[in-house]
A and B are shown apart, each in its own frame.
Chain A
């Protein structure tokens, strides 16, 4: 079964850091680009970052550029999001999502999503 399982969320103070992980199973992880998408409480979906299958190309939303870093370890079938300088407006459920057909990192829909992990930034 194709599955994504996020972990690492929690409560952090403004200015703090957190690293999210997304463990993948049931597919050839390195063959697909991966993304992080977040959803603030009661709000819509916001794409955060994407990475190509090889890890050689990365993309970021302007709202997180310079603060967040996406990476992947294809030997461990795991995607990461390192989040630094966290702000209250980063509070959200963070989902990892698999590109439907491509390893490129852009231009593809997301066919598999994890269950999400909650990040709360508050003092």
Chain B
């Protein structure tokens, strides 16, 4: 199976900060990558698919980039509602998730 490694695993940031999370795949996955946000006790929410396409209704401060084995999720100006855990997911026939990046308030 394809392994995904996110970095960092934990991130402390302030409102207004620019935040970048990296996801590395163990082999090339073209642009078959999605990003999700999960808040405690809630189901994940799709933010980005096809590596860089913003899901309908998701604020434009979220953006994704990359292809092949290295991908990034960027939040241009962190808002209070963005403190959550973020997961990347590769989308082949046996999808796998990264281990998650928890974004907490500094």
Measured CB to CB, the residues of A under 8 A from B are 35, 37, 44-47, 50, 59, 61-62, 95, 100, 105-111, 113-116
Contact = CB atoms under 8 A, between A and B. Distances in A.
Given A45-B89, A106-B92, A109-B50, 11 more contacts: A35-B95, A37-B44, A44-B100, A47-B94, A59-B93, A59-B94, A106-B93, A106-B95, A108-B49, A109-B49, A110-B89
Interface size range of chain B in the complex: 20 to 34
The dominant DSSP class at the B interface is loop
B32 A44 contact: no
A114 B45 CA distance: 10
B53 to A, nearest CB: 9
Contacts, number: 63
Given A100-B46, A100-B49, A113-B43, A45 B97 contact: yes
A35 to B, nearest CB: 8
Contacts of B99: 44
Interface of B: 1, 32, 34, 36, 38, 43-46, 49-50, 55, 87, 89, 91-100
B91 A106 contact: yes
Contacts of A114: 43
A107 B93 contact: yes
A47 B97 contact: yes
B93 A109 contact: no
29 contacts: A44-B97, A44-B100, A45-B36, A45-B44, A47-B94, A47-B96, A47-B97, A50-B95, A59-B94, A62-B1, A95-B44, A100-B49, A100-B55, A105-B93, A106-B91, A106-B92, A106-B93, A107-B32, A107-B92, A108-B91, A109-B34, A109-B89, A110-B34, A110-B89, A111-B49, A111-B55, A113-B45, A114-B43, A116-B43
